[in-house]
Amino acid sequence: MYDIIIIGSGPAGLTAALYARRAEKSVLVIEKETFGGQITHSPRVENYPGFEEISGSELGERLLSQAMAQGAEIEFDTVVGITGEPGAYTVKCESCEKTAKSVIIATGSKHRTLGLSGEECYTGDGISYCAVCDGAFYRDKTVAIIGGGNTALQEANMLADIATKVYVIQNLAFFTGEKNLVSRLDSRDNVEAILSTVVTDIIGGDGFRGIKIKNTESGDTRELYIDGMFVAIGQVPENEPFKNQVNLNGYGYIEAGEDCVPTGAEAGIFVAGDCRTKAIRQVTTATADGAVAALAACRFVDSIK
Ligand SMILES: Cc1cc2nc3c(=O)[nH]c(=O)nc-3n(C[C@H](O)[C@H](O)[C@H](O)COP(=O)(O)OP(=O)(O)OC[C@H]3O[C@@H](n4cnc5c(N)ncnc54)[C@H](O)[C@@H]3O)c2cc1C
């Protein structure tokens, strides 16, 4: 039995692993997709203290190797649920079961889809949710990025280096991302902002061909023939497997305060990072949660010895 099992290897989970190992607890981190979490999709991180600029994938690798160097064990599997009682929890995965005295849920969130018919069918073949991963396939092509927050603007800037033309389509009349990202985009000749506009349909057939868009103020519609569409309209949590252990709010986030103790949870279950209710979802706030949750879990483990 491990002292602590951590579900998710993003900045929150790996920081929790680091702190728990430094307190000499046995630690297993279980990850279902990408070691390092969603920050690995970011081309450039400029707001993590200590690094003027670092790629998300390098930051993810550093977090992982630091936790492993301290002796954290890492497994690749998908957690489907937690059962048991304080001091003796079973973490059920798709291919195995592991036991621990305490569990930290650090499952973050994943990309939101537009919910359009055909979206799933063209994903990976004209539609992408990660410009860092797929941008290179669109060299000298025409693409659209949907969204107007920091992620969309960062990705649009990156795509402008690769593609011939980049449309940035935002449902609001303004961008919500940081001003310096907006001005960087303004200075690009091959970027066209289309504001107050939503995507209503995908134009397909024999492959992805483009999108139909609608201006929300005038009601005007238009067909846009493009080679690729990148969707960057935010994140949704993945907390369904834990809904019997913790309270979820209306958006699916685990209800918890800065102490990382979920409401409605039994003793010994903690939550860290983007998967919980919080005002700001960033690497800094995720790592802070990782430390808080780990130290709380360590105290719990010590209390039942
Ligand atoms: C494109 C992009 C750019 C960003 N840029 C910045 C930036 O510049 N600065 C900044 O501070 N933040 C940025 N962010 C936000 C930042 O990445 C997140 O706030 C941070 O990663 C949250 O960390 P986390 O550990 O809580 O969750 P995540 O990073 O989401 O990690 C959670 C991990 O849990 C895993 N998981 C989920 N469910 C299960 C399960 N059932 N079983 C096993 N594993 C599971 C997931 O696969 C994932 O790896 C960006 C995000 C994106 C997508």
194, β-bridge pairs: 169
The reply to whether ligand 1 has any atom less than 6 angstroms from the CB of 237 is: no
pLDDT category, 303, cuts 50, 70, 90? Answer: very high
Lowest-pLDDT range of 36-45, 149-158, 171-180: 36-45
**Per DSSP, what are the bridge partners of residue 202?**
211
Could you identify the atom of ligand 1 that is nearest to the CA of residue 38?
29
Task: Give residue 272's pLDDT band: very low, low, confident or very high (50, 70, 90).
Answer: very high
Mean pLDDT of the 134-142 span = 93
pLDDT > 90: percent of the chain: 89
Name 297's Cβ contacts closer than 8 Å, sequence gap at least 6.
3, 4, 16, 20, 25, 102, 103, 104, 268, 270
Nearest atom, ligand 1, residue 283 CA: 11
Model pLDDT, residue 134: 84
264 pLDDT more than 80: yes
Q: Is the pLDDT of residue 279 over 90?
A: no
Q: How far is the CA of 60 from the centre of ligand 1 (A)?
A: 10
Instruction: Give CA–CA dist 212/201, Å, rounded.
Output: 5
Give the per-residue pLDDT at 78: 98
Q: Amino acid identity of 65? A: S
Q: Whose CA is nearest to atom 19 of ligand 1?
A: 282
Q: Which member of 93, 130, 260, 275 is catalytic?
A: 130
Is residue 298 annotated as part of the catalytic site, yes or no? Answer: no
Q: Residue 156's beta-bridge partner residues?
A: none
pTM for the predicted model, two decimal places: 0.84
CATH 3.50.50.60 assigned to domain 119-231? The reply is: yes
Q: What are phi and psi of 65, to 5 degrees?
A: -70, -30
Query: What is the DSSP secondary-structure string of 83-128?
Result: EEETTEEEEEESS-EEEEEEEEE---EEEPP---TTHHHHBTTTEE
289 lines ligand 1 (CB under 6 A): no
> What's the rounded Cα separation, in Å, for the pair 145 and 304?
51
What one-character DSSP code corresponds to residue 248? B
Residue 273 Cα to ligand 1 midpoint, Å, equals 8
Return the structure tokens found at 23.
């307190």
Q: Could you write out the DSSP letters of every residue in 22-41?
A: HTT--EEEEESS-TTGGGGG
Based on the number of CB atoms within 10 Å of its own CB, is 27 exposed (0-12), middle (13-18) or buried (19 or more)?
Answer: buried
What's the CA angle centered on 132, arms 119 and 200, to 5 degrees?
25
Over 90: is that where the pLDDT of 133 sits? no
> What is d(CA 82, CA 97) in angstroms, rounded to the nearest whole number?
10
Residue 192: both structure tokens together: 């066209």
User: CA-to-CA distance for 251 and 237, rounded, in angstroms?
Assistant: 8
Do 252 and 240 touch, CB atoms closer than 8 A? yes
Region of residue 8 (phi > 0: left; psi between -120 and 50: alpha; otherwise: beta)? left
Q: Report the DSSP pairing between strands 109-111 and 235-237.
A: antiparallel
Distance CA 166, CA 193 (A): 8
Q: Is 273 in the pocket of ligand 1 (CB under 6 A)?
A: yes
What the block records as the tokens of 171 is 């449902």
> What's the count of helices (H) and strands (E) in the chain, helices before strands?
7, 17
Give the model confidence (pLDDT) of 68-87 as tens digits. Answer: 999 999 999 999 999 999 99
Residue span(s) of the chain under CATH 3.50.50.60 come to 2-110+235-303, 119-231
User: 2-110+235-303: which CATH number, 3.40.630.30, 3.50.50.60, 3.30.70.1350, 3.90.226.10?
Assistant: 3.50.50.60
Cα of 101 vs centre of ligand 1, distance in Å, is 25
User: Are the CB atoms for 233 and 130 separated by under 8 Å?
Assistant: no
Q: Could you tell me the distance, in angstroms and rounded to a whole number, from the CA of residue 182 to the centre of ligand 1? A: 23
Cβ(138)–Cβ(160) under 8 Å?
A: no
pLDDT of residue 46: 86
Whose CA is closest to atom 18 on ligand 1? 282
Name the pLDDT band for 305 (thresholds 50, 70, 90).
confident
Is 130 considered catalytic here? yes
Tell me whether residue 161 is one of the annotated catalytic residues. no
**Residue 43 reports pLDDT greater than 80:** no
> Distance, CA 32 to ligand 1 centroid (Å)?
12
